[in-house]
Homo-oligomer: A and B are copies of this chain.
Amino acid sequence: MKTKTKSEETRERILSAAIELFRRRGFESATMREIAGGAGVATGAAYYYFDSKDAIVLAFYEHAACELEPLLEDALAGAKSLEARIRALLEVKLKYFEPNRALLGALSGHTDPAHPLSPFSAQTREIRERDMKFFERALEDSRVRISPDLQGVLPRILWMYQMGLILFWIYDRSASQKRTHALVDQSVGIVVGLIKLSGFPLLRPVRRRVVTLLETVSGEA
């Protein structure tokens, strides 16, 4: 096991203190000075590691992505059908982010892809792409045959579907977010049903149009 350097330890302590403070006090009103105080370092030292609260949030996203990876691996290993695999990926994420649901809520206003903290930003691209890989794998190892023209775009579609669910979950005021869990439950079946139907020759023109459209939207045409 790799030993952490002193510098890595300090960085992590600041990150934990910040998340703890965001959780207790909300993201907007927390200051770098308070974060430094919580971590037991000087404000200047906190700024040495993170030049802003936004930088801390990005580090939180990255940290979460790393911690999630083995959990998502387990989820895929434990589920066979495509429906079970997608459902498992989604449930792992909702469970993982549960303690920080309010923080994600404070960040969900960043719908502008030009904002660094947006899930669609250049800064979060790497995290986003690593996350899409899990949907790619959920599709690959399942027994559902995906028509070749859709293979490139389906992971992205599933990822966007996930983001929609997370947004719903953030604002779900039902007890233990049971409406979201019902929504996941019902929608995964529909999504997988549509994926299965999408292979029909009849749907070839629609498939082609969806692929073109996604190229337009993602600006990667």
Interface residues, chain A, with chain B CB atoms under 8 Å away: 105, 108-114, 167-168, 170-171, 173, 179, 182-183, 186-187, 189-190, 193-194, 197, 202-203, 205-206, 209-210, 212-213, 216-217, 219
Contact = CB atoms under 8 A, between A and B. Distances in A.
A206 B190 contact: yes
B183 A217 contact: yes
A114 B105 CA distance: 12
Most buried by B among A114, A203, A205, A206: A206
Nearest to A118: B171
A170 B112 CA distance: 8
Contact of A112 (B171, B186, B219): B171
Nearest to A112: B171
Number of copies: 2
21 contacts: A109-B109, A109-B111, A111-B111, A111-B167, A112-B170, A112-B171, A113-B171, A168-B217, A179-B216, A182-B216, A183-B213, A183-B216, A183-B217, A186-B209, A186-B212, A190-B206, A190-B209, A193-B206, A194-B206, A197-B202, A197-B206
A194 B209 CA distance: 11
A64 to B, nearest CB: 20
A110 B157 CA distance: 24
Contact of A190 (B168, B190, B210): B210
A106 B189 CA distance: 36
A170 B209 CA distance: 23
Nearest to A206: B193
A203 B111 CA distance: 34
Nearest to A164: B164
